[in-house]
Amino acid sequence: MDVAEWNEEDAAAWQRACELVAAARRITVLTGAGISTGAGIPDFRGPDGVWTRDPEAQRLSDIDSYLADPEVRRAAWRSRARHPAWEAEPGPAHHALTGLANSGRLRALLTQNIDELHQRAGLDPELVLELHGSMFGTVCLDCSERGTMRAALSRVAAGEQDPPCRSCGGILKSATVSFGQALDPEVVRAGQRAAMDCDLFLAVGTSLTVHPAAGFAELAVRAGADLIVCNAEPTPYDGQAAAVLRGDLDETLPRLLSVPTVPNSRPLRTWADPSTW
């Protein structure tokens, strides 16, 4: 973010965002693919996204295609083996959120990402809600047995192009939520509680188009929290945001979250009763 390039609207949004961060005592954060692009993990829908460049690649994330077509499964295993998350390192934006947690003001971090970069940046796993699971685990779609992705990929490297579950012979996939699969209801409920139990909801690097994750932003606003959107492209929730920030997240987020707090600046909220909306 180059201050010299700011127009009056950008400067006002930045000032408002800094004021909100300084005043907040409980912050819930939602992160999407945009926070990891700087680490070399491409997003899906952006100008240079995986699905933008290769629309057919979306079939690998569709549960019906995965179940019905062995070739889709074989392609998915090849893709997992070369996923850039194996080599990626957390960036400044990830570390800035760890710093927020260390300050004691992070209520929870909800992430749509499957790369575990937040945990690798030192964030307490207890604070992280992986809405779409993790690519570093596997699950059998028949018996639900779980394992490690490294173990499964070692079988692929040994010649099993579509390794079945060793317990029941069922279909294995990554422990992530594909299109057509439901999110874990316990994780969703925990996300809802975190959205309703914060002073400030910070949406970072997410297009806010995939539900139910995107709906957490509206839930927070309806419960009385302020919303800040930090994303390179417009989102459907920009109109509900108290501030919208564009620019490189690895530059913007560390600066934003380093703003000194204002002690006792606002009363501590309890999460809202939906019946009062």
What would the pLDDT profile of 237-270 be if each residue is shown by its tens digit?
999 999 999 989 999 999 999 998 887 655 444 3
**Which residues of the chain fall below pLDDT 50?**
1, 3-4, 51-52, 267-277
pLDDT at 268: 43
> Which is the catalytic residue, given 83, 95, 132, 211?
132
pLDDT at 59: 80
pLDDT at 271: 37
* Token code pair at residue 26: 């409980």
**Residue in the block written with tokens 């501030």:** 243
pLDDT at 61: 84
* Token code pair at residue 19: 């004021």
Active site residue 132: yes
The proportion of the chain whose per-residue pLDDT surpasses 90, expressed as a percent, equals: 79
pLDDT at 273: 38
On whether the CB atoms of residues 137 and 175 are closer than 8 A, the answer is: yes
The proportion of the chain whose per-residue pLDDT surpasses 70, expressed as a percent, equals: 87
Q: Measuring CA to CA, which residue among 151, 182, 165 is closest to residue 80?
A: 151
User: Buried (b) or exposed (e) across 258-272, using 16+ Cβ within 10 A?
Assistant: eeeeeeeeeeeeebb
Distances (CA, A) of 270 to 41, 84, 86, 160, 213: 37, 40, 40, 52, 22
> How many Cβ atoms are within 10 Å of 91's Cβ, its own excluded?
22
